[in-house]
């Protein structure tokens, strides 16, 4: 069909506002009316949050792969280690969990969608889906296989449910054959999913 490209990208949202949408608008308008903030400041804050990406997290991982002392400090106190690299990670308390031979970590938030967005950007849509949230604690191996990650039976899978005040980043294993790579080249191998645990780093070319 020649006109396939006219398929609507998503349904129009003509339905009435939900309770929380009305509340958000009411609170926002009050804050603006009372001079606490203004529309420009709100737009800038949204823009700054949208501009965050997995790039900062990838730099942290690449540094940990290259510098054993940094890796030790990252595993001890990930918030402090990220601050030390100059990253503004907001109010987040971060824990880094390390993959090693025989252990693979994966992160989920069953209760909502807690995610280290200050360091690796907004979460992918699937991370917030009920399917990912409920299945990852129940059948993580099946979920990982659907992401293309099939691990040996002998490898322990450790699921991290971000139930409260901590946020998690997975420190994946450094791919083989990368001894000669610079930190910058290593960072290019680190994917978003490898820091969630649903993926593995890219292999060097």
Partner 1 sequence: MTDFAPGDPVRVRDWHPPGHVRTPAYLRGRRGEVERRLGPFGNPEQLAYGLPADTQPLYRVRFTMAEIWGDRAEAPADTLEAEIYAHWLEPA
**Choice among 79, 82, 114, 194 that is catalytic:** 114
Find the binder of partner 1 among 137, 147, 188, 204 (CB under 8 A): 137
Closest CA to 107 of 200, 202, 194: 194
Residue 93 has which token pair?
């308390």
CB of 157 to partner 1, least distance (A): 4
Would residue 109 show up in a list of annotated catalytic residues for this protein?
Answer: yes
Residue 192 has which token pair?
């978003």
- Residue 156: C-alpha distances to residues 33, 103, 110, 134 (Å): 55, 5, 20, 19
CB of 31 to partner 1, least distance (A): 16
7 binds partner 1 (CB under 8 A): no
Would residue 113 show up in a list of annotated catalytic residues for this protein?
Answer: yes
CB of 93 to partner 1, least distance (A): 8
- Report the DSSP pairing between strands 93-98 and 103-108: unpaired
- CB nearer partner 1, residue 10 or residue 130: 130
Find the binder of partner 1 among 31, 32, 75, 157 (CB under 8 A): 157
202 binds partner 1 (CB under 8 A): no
Kindly provide the b/e burial profile for residues 182-202, where b requires at least 16 CB atoms within 10 angstroms of the residue's own CB. eeeebbebbbbbbbbbbbbbe
139 binds partner 1 (CB under 8 A): yes
Q: Token match 């990253």: residue?
A: 87
Site size toward partner 1, by CB under 8 A: 22
142 binds partner 1 (CB under 8 A): yes
Q: Which residues are marked as active site? A: 109, 112-114
């Amino acid at each position: 069909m020649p006109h396939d490209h006219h398929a609507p990208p998503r349904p129009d949202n003509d339905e009435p506002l939900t309770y929380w949408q009305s509340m958000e608008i009411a609170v926002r308008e009050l804050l603006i009316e009372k001079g606490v903030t203004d529309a420009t400041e709100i737009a800038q804050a949204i823009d700054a949050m949208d501009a965050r990406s997995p790039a900062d997290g990838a730099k942290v991982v690449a540094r940990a792969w290259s510098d054993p002392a940094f890796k030790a400090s990252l595993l001890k106190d990930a918030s402090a280690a990220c601050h030390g690299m100059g990253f503004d990670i907001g109010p987040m308390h971060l824990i880094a969990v390390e993959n090693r031979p025989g252990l693979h970590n994966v992160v989920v938030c069953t209760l909502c969608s807690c995610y280290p967005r200050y360091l690796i950007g907004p979460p992918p849509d699937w991370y917030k889906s009920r399917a990912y949230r409920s299945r990852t604690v129940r059948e993580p191996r099946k979920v990982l296989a659907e992401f293309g990650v099939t691990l040996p039976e002998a490898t322990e899978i450790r699921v991290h449910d971000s139930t409260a005040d901590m946020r998690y980043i997975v420190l994946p294993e450094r791919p083989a054959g990368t001894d000669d790579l610079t930190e910058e080249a290593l960072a290019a191998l680190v994917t978003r999913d490898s820091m969630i645990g649903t993926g593995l780093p890219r292999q060097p070319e």
